[in-house]
């Protein structure tokens, strides 16, 4: 491999994809897929004007056959996804921990492709379902593709991959009627949970705000499983991976998520696409938790148990690099739908642990791609192709694109000088980390995996009061929709092992008998788990600006400019879409209306009103701001808007900012309120 082949640049994957990109239909003659020009594309070949269609019509058969085969099997899990291209840059060399080359040079930009996804819903389900989110990243490195297949939650539901089909079957729509879609609020899921109590910790995460992210851009990522870093000397460290969003970790309320799911089921997908198009590139820092092998048994939990996390206070997260998503896909199917991830796609310097969930994933992901993408050559699909050359003796199969020449297709040959040939570790050959393994052949689980509730309690202890209430509300909704009363009681009794007050609250909400005993002796908390302690910024936040005919142009324009200066996005809303005339005959264009949008899709509301606003406008505007108010969002008002806010008796509430003409201080306070995100201590009226 020469120096040119070894080099890699930010544009290398883009250039490679460009070889396959086809957008040359403009002003071109219509042809078949074989290149034959076609004279007619709207009428099939028939025996007479009213006669039967003839099998001879090869163009009709090609067109319809292709159409009939346009859909491939959707992913069993993570079916609904959104993807984007970007780059990754390491901050400093990680040579002392890993020999992975893409983690060595801060001047190198490694191309990446990321796919965010929900887990349970079908491809057509809504973005805002209460669910785990996938966060899968493909690094196109000079040593081959590396896939970091993560979730937005640190633990997982199960400890051994053999249980994964059962868990998914219980969570998917029930098989007799395929109801309900994209939700855990049904009998089979909670029946399974109560029979598999290792899931307690993950259920706490799934019932928390983490399960309904405000945006993919504001979502944390966790590698879940324990991996290894290996350096040049062969020294190993256990490692867990983290993605930290620079915008902080923020969520929707359950009521907002439900309403958005009906109004805009593509809410998160649209948010990702629009912000990349506007240049608000999502940024995530890559962090690692590192443990020396000698410390493997130094904790009160098993570090290989995938239902556990490593508390950041015990094992700090070291930030080592940043990923920026800077380009949307050109074709959803060819890229987002056909991208194939596999945790077994590693590079030298990254290896596996004995985590039993990870061991199963190493089989399952590869097996999945074989049926979804038609055979063993899915690596040749452009979005999956590595940027470095690849050479082996694999041949043929569905979808083969490489035209191999020569008559040698086997290893150990003399006819081709034993090419391609293996290379040693010093030449970049992948060598598995040597680990002494011994024991009886047995189907058993380590006793160190038996504690199912301590970290569930740790998570509960780490939540703020509003977050705890949201968890209770989530249990009330999800378990409240269960029909079997025995299951409701088992859920209540199970979570008494996490916290007795939590269990009693669940019981009251779902009609079960409150447990008389239970609770946990765990008092430890991890502040890093609470979203109250995340980054808070007004950057990229969306603000509804409500105006009517006769609005104050200078006032509104001043607010909009101040918002834009802080990176916030203003959307003008009125009772109609189109130009709205101010009191001084200036105009602004309303791009949204009360009919097309509601407060749930915005982070804040600013209302100026207008001298010519009629009673209908005032009623709709007040409805808009009251909904934002009960969702604890920042609200600002001037002129008629200020009066309407005072009429609703919410003017003195936390997070409500009222301004007068020439008063710029309230704008500054409003922007700080937008960054604050929610005012949980607000008294609802």
Cα 498 from chain centroid?
28
Q: What is the pLDDT of residue 542?
A: 98
pLDDT exceeds 80 at position 652: yes
Mean pLDDT of 399-419: 89
* Cα end-to-end span (Å), the chain: 71
Q: What is the pLDDT of residue 289?
A: 98
pLDDT digits (tens, 9 = 90+) for 250-284: 999 999 999 999 999 999 999 999 999 999 999 99
State how beta strands 569-574 and 144-151 pair.
Answer: unpaired
pLDDT digits (tens, 9 = 90+) for 151-190: 999 999 999 999 999 999 999 999 999 999 999 999 999 9
> Lowest-confidence range among 69-83, 416-430, 544-558?
416-430
The SS3 of residue 510 is: helix
Tokens of 112: 């990446």
Q: What is the pLDDT of residue 22?
A: 66
Q: What is the pLDDT of residue 588?
A: 98
pLDDT exceeds 50 at position 2: no
pLDDT exceeds 80 at position 66: yes
pLDDT digits (tens, 9 = 90+) for 506-548: 999 999 999 999 999 999 999 999 999 999 999 999 999 999 9
What residues form DSSP beta bridges with 150?
Answer: 135
Looking at domain 536-676, which of 3.40.50.720, 3.40.50.880, 3.10.20.30, 3.40.50.1820 is its CATH number? 3.40.50.880
Our CA angle for 515, 517, 518, nearest 5°, is 100
Q: What is the pLDDT of residue 8?
A: 54
Mean pLDDT of 124-147: 97
The SS3 of residue 413 is: coil
Tokens of 360: 């199963």
pLDDT exceeds 90 at position 594: yes
Q: What is the pLDDT of residue 485?
A: 98
**CATH code given to domain 466-531:** 1.20.1370.20
Fold exhibited by the domain 3-68: Cytochrome C Oxidase; Chain J (4.10.91)
Element (H, E) at 229: strand 227-230
Mean pLDDT of 81-104: 98
In this prediction, residue 81 has a pLDDT band, given cuts at 50, 70 and 90, of very high
Q: What is the pLDDT of residue 393?
A: 87
pLDDT digits (tens, 9 = 90+) for 18-29: 777 766 778 888
CA atoms of 196 and 495, how far apart (whole Å): 12
3-68 and 466-531 agree in CATH topology: no
pLDDT exceeds 70 at position 11: no
> Lowest-confidence range among 3-12, 219-228, 568-577, 599-608?
3-12
Our CA angle for 353, 359, 364, nearest 5°, is 145
CA atoms of 624 and 614, how far apart (whole Å): 16
Write the CB contacts of 56 (distance below 8 Å, at least 6 apart in sequence): 45
Dihedral over alpha carbons 616, 619, 625, 627 (to 10 degrees): -110
Neighbours of 504 (CB within 10 A): 20
Residues annotated as catalytic are 78, 151
pLDDT exceeds 80 at position 486: yes
Q: Where are the domains of the chain?
A: 3-68, 81-384, 466-531, 536-676
pLDDT digits (tens, 9 = 90+) for 666-678: 999 999 999 999 9
Element (H, E) at 189: helix 187-195
The SS3 of residue 73 is: coil
Query: Would you put residue 512 in left (φ > 0), alpha (ψ -120 to 50) or beta?
Result: beta
Question: Does residue 249 contact residue 530 with C-beta atoms inside 8 Å?
Answer: no
pLDDT digits (tens, 9 = 90+) for 214-238: 999 999 999 999 999 999 999 999 9
pLDDT digits (tens, 9 = 90+) for 303-352: 999 999 999 999 999 999 999 999 999 999 999 999 999 999 999 999 99
Is 551 buried (19+), middle (13-18) or exposed (0-12) by CB count in 10 A? buried
- Of 116 and 65, the structure prediction assigns the larger pLDDT to 116
Question: Does residue 485 contact residue 551 with C-beta atoms inside 8 Å?
Answer: no
In this prediction, residue 1 has a pLDDT band, given cuts at 50, 70 and 90, of very low
pLDDT exceeds 80 at position 551: yes
pLDDT exceeds 70 at position 6: no
Architecture in CATH for domain 81-384: Beta Barrel (2.40)
Q: Give pTM, 2 decimals.
A: 0.94
In this prediction, residue 5 has a pLDDT band, given cuts at 50, 70 and 90, of very low
Q: What is the pLDDT of residue 9?
A: 55
Q: What is the pLDDT of residue 17?
A: 74
Q: Quick one: DSSP state of residue 31?
A: B
Question: Does residue 141 contact residue 13 with C-beta atoms inside 8 Å?
Answer: no
């Amino acid at each position: 491999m020469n120096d040119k082949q070894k080099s890699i640049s930010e544009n290398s994957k883009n250039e490679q994809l460009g070889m396959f990109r086809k957008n040359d239909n403009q002003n071109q003659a219509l042809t078949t897929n074989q290149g034959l020009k076609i004279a007619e594309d709207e009428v099939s070949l028939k025996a007479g004007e009213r006669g039967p269609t003839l099998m001879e019509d090869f163009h009709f058969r090609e067109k319809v056959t292709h159409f009939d085969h346009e859909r491939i099997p959707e992913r069993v899990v993570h079916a609904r996804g959104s993807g984007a291209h970007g780059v990754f840059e390491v901050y400093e060399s990680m040579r002392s921990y890993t020999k992975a080359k893409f983690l060595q040079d801060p001047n190198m930009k490694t191309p990446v492709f990321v796919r965010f996804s929900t887990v349970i819903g079908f491809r057509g389900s809504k973005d805002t379902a209460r669910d785990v989110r996938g966060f899968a990243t493909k690094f196109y490195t000079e040593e081959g593709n590396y896939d970091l297949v993560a979730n937005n939650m640190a633990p997982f539901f199960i400890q051994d991959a053999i249980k994964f089909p059962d868990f998914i079957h219980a969570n998917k729509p029930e098989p007799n009627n395929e109801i309900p879609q994209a939700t855990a609020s049904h009998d089979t899921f909670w029946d399974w949970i109560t029979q598999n109590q290792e899931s307690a910790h993950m259920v706490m995460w799934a019932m928390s705000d983490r399960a309904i992210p405000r945006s993919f851009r504001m979502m944390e990522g966790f590698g879940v499983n324990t991996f290894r870093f290996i350096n040049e000397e062969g020294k190993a460290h256990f490692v867990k991976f983290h993605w930290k969003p620079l915008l902080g970790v923020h969520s929707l309320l359950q009521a907002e998520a439900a309403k958005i799911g009906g109004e805009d089921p593509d809410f998160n997908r649209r948010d990702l696409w629009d912000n990349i198009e506007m240049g608000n590139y999502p940024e995530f820092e890559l962090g690692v938790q590192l443990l020396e092998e000698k410390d493997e048994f130094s904790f009160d939990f098993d570090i290989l148990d995938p239902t556990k996390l490593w508390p950041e206070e015990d094992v700090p997260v070291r930030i080592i690099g940043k990923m920026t998503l800077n380009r949307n896909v050109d074709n959803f199917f060819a890229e987002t739908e056909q991208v194939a991830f596999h945790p077994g796609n590693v590079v030298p310097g990254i290896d596996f642990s004995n985590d039993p969930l990870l061991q199963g994933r190493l089989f399952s992901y590869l097996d999945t791609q074989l049926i979804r993408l038609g055979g063993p050559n899915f690596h040749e699909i452009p979005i999956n192709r590595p940027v470095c050359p690849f050479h082996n003796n694999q041949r043929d199969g569905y979808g083969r694109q490489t035209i191999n020449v020569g008559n040698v297709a086997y290893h150990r040959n003399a006819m081709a000088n034993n090419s391609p040939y293996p290379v040693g570790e010093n030449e970049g050959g992948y060598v598995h980390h040597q680990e002494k393994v011994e024991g009886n052949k047995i189907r058993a689980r380590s006793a160190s995996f038996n504690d199912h509730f301590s970290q569930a309690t740790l998570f509960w202890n780490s939540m703020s009061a509003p977050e705890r209430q949201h968890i209770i509300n989530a249990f009330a909704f999800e378990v409240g929709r269960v029909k079997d009363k025995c299951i409701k009681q088992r859920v209540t009794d199970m979570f008494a092992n996490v916290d007795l007050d939590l269990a009693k609250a669940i019981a009251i909400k779902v009609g079960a008998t409150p447990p008389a005993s239970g609770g946990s002796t765990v008092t430890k908390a991890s502040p890093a788990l609470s979203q109250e302690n995340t980054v808070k910024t007004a950057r990229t936040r969306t603000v509804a600006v409500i105006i009517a005919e006769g609005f104050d142009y200078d006032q509104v324009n001043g607010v909009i400019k101040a918002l834009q200066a802080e990176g916030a996005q203003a959307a003008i809303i009125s009772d109609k879409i189109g130009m709205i005339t101010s009191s001084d005959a200036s105009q602004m264009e309303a791009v949204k209306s009360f009919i097309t949008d509601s407060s749930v899709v915005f982070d804040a509301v600013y209302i100026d009103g207008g001298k010519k606003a009629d009673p209908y406008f005032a009623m709709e505007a007040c409805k808009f701001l009251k909904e934002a108010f009960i969702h604890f969002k920042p609200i600002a008002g001037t002129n008629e808007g200020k009066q309407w806010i005072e009429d609703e008796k919410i003017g003195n509430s936390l997070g409500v900012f009222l301004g007068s003409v020439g008063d710029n201080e309230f704008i500054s306070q409003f922007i700080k309120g937008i960054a604050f995100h929610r005012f949980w201590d607000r008294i609802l009226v």
